[in-house]
Amino acid sequence: MKWPFIPTTRLTFETTLSKAEILRRVQEKLDSLENNTPRKEFDGVVSADGFEVWEVYRRQGGNSFSPMIKANMEETGMGSNIQVRLQMRGCVWAFLLVWCYPFALMLFLLLMTLIRGDSVPIDWSLLLIIFMPAFMITLAVTGFRAGNRAANAFVRDILDTKDMG
């Protein structure tokens, strides 16, 4: 089941590169001089079966809702099949839950009041209760989609067949 307000993107890449070559390129990109500066763009972990990479936000104007890249790879007869999943990081989920919890609680109490048949005065606080969680979800989804471009560029740069050395 795909929920539109939980941003996740799945991509599949077929490449003639071997699994070892892809992992080497990811590690090389993470260790490169251009990436290891105070304006570092990406950080991550490379394992035997894949890699996890995330954008670092030390640069001005960074997008804290950018996705984490999780990739699993399988060797095929002609190269490798890479399954990439772009998803929000746990710290973003925690931020959204903490931020939206009071509004969700107030909305729940409002609905319980309406179910009991009590009248509810309509004022600005009622609009705040309804629209703040919607605003935060919209902010997260929009930021996630904007960060997809950098994540896609990272993966495509790794899979580029030109020599990276």
How do beta strands 8-15 and 68-76 pair?
unpaired
Predicted pLDDT of residue 39: 56
Neighbouring CB atoms inside 10 A of 102's CB total 12
Burial class, 82, CB count within 10 angstroms (exposed 0-12 / middle 13-18 / buried 19+): buried
- Which residue ranges in the chain fall short of pLDDT 50? 161-165
Contact 92, 64 (CB under 8 A): yes
Domain coordinates in residue numbering, the chain: 1-160
The predicted model scores a pTM of 0.68
**In CATH, what is the architecture of 1-160?**
2-Layer Sandwich (3.30)
* Cα distance between residue 104 and residue 97, in whole Å: 9
Predicted pLDDT of residue 161: 40
Predicted pLDDT of residue 163: 35
* Cα distance between residue 142 and residue 64, in whole Å: 11
Predicted pLDDT of residue 57: 65
Structure tokens, 67 = 């996705």
Burial class, 85, CB count within 10 angstroms (exposed 0-12 / middle 13-18 / buried 19+): middle
Predicted pLDDT of residue 6: 66
